[in-house]
């Protein structure tokens, strides 16, 4: 029996050694997993920071470009407004000239008609009566 006890003790010792080996391997695996997790967390933090910086750069670039586009639009708007004002002034002056021309022609025509009425008052009175009669007929039909 002593032989069996020695074998049992040896088995116990080998089992303890094996358990210790498994524990050491498990501890080493846990340490390696913890180190890998820490490395991954650090890399993730670095990637997050890089992405945040790039995002901030993109936002700033977009703001800058937007401001440039707004300034360009504003400048073009001022240019178009100035062109429109110039064209409106030109058209106003042209209309003013034509109104003066029409007024001058009307004044000349008035002077002619006035002179004709003074030279031939009876004829002018007959023409005016005829025109009045025709207008009366036209208005009466409505």
Two tokens at 84? 């429109």
- Cβ–Cβ under 8 Å, residues 115 and 123: no
Spatial distance between the Cα atoms of 140 and 45, rounded to a whole number of angstroms: 97
pLDDT, tens digit, 9 for 90 and up, residues 19-34: 888 888 888 888 888 8
Two tokens at 58? 């993109």
Q: Does residue 86 have a pLDDT over 60?
A: yes
Helix (H) or strand (E) holding 12: helix 2-119
Domain spans of the chain? 4-117
Query: Residue 138, CB half-sphere, CA atoms under 13 Å: how many?
Result: 6
pLDDT, tens digit, 9 for 90 and up, residues 46-61: 888 888 888 888 888 8
Q: What is the pTM of this model?
A: 0.41
Taking each helix axis from N to C end, the angle separating 2-119 and 121-141, rounded to the nearest 10 degrees, works out to 140
């Amino acid at each position: 029996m002593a032989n069996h006890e020695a074998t049992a003790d040896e088995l116990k010792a080998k089992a303890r050694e094996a358990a210790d080996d498994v524990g050491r391997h498990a501890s080493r695996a846990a340490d390696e997993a913890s180190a890998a997790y820490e490395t991954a967390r650090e890399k993730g933090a670095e990637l997050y920071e890089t992405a945040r910086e790039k995002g901030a750069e993109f936002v700033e670039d977009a703001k800058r470009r937007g401001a440039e586009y707004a300034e360009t639009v504003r400048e073009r708007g001022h240019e178009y407004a100035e062109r429109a004002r110039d064209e409106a002034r030109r058209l106003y002056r042209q209309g003013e000239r034509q109104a003066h021309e029409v007024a001058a022609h009307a004044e000349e025509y008035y002077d002619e008609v006035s002179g004709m009425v003074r030279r031939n008052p009876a004829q002018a009175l007959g023409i005016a009566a005829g025109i009045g009669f025709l207008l009366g007929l036209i208005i009466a039909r409505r």
